[in-house]
Amino acid sequence: MRKLALLLTCSCILLLMGCSDEKTDALNDLEAITEEITTKSADYTQEDWDIAENQFGLICEELEQYEFTDEQLKHIGKLKGKCTAVFARKKASDFKNSLHRIGKEVEGFIEGISGGLEEEREEQD
């Protein structure tokens, strides 16, 4: 019976150590992606942005599986906030660029219609 209890105790310790390592790995992954996107995202392609957003989501999902201390949760929240801010700036920039592009297309469209109507009037005269 003592051997069984010792075996169960050792198994639980190993299991907890394994979870602890995975928990630490997930936190390290969040720190790494935060560092990556806050320092290198200026050179990102759209594909890089898509990959970063996907990785961030997966890391956040993984972090939800573990229990953290209040201090760790505060640190995680700060890192998530930094990442979210970077992603939000990217989305705002994309939106601004889309509006500019649409504005220019509409401007050209209106010029095209106006020019077409003037040509039609000149032909009728």
User: How many angstroms separate the CA atoms of 103 and 47, rounded?
Assistant: 26
What average pLDDT does this structure show over 94-115? 89
pLDDT greater than 80 at residue 123: no
Torsion sign (Cα): 13, 64, 46, 91: negative
Say which DSSP state 41 is in. Answer: G
Q: What would the pLDDT profile of 16-46 be if each residue is shown by its tens digit?
A: 444 458 999 999 999 999 999 999 999 999 9
51-97: per-residue pLDDT in tens? 999 999 999 999 999 999 999 999 999 999 999 999 999 999 889 98
Amino acid at position 101, single letter = R
The CA-to-CA distance between both ends of the chain, in Å, stands at: 109
Rounded to whole angstroms, how far apart are CA atoms 60 and 120?
Answer: 61
What is the phi-psi region of residue 14: left when phi exceeds 0, alpha when psi lies from -120 to 50, beta otherwise?
alpha
pLDDT over threshold 50, residue 7 = no
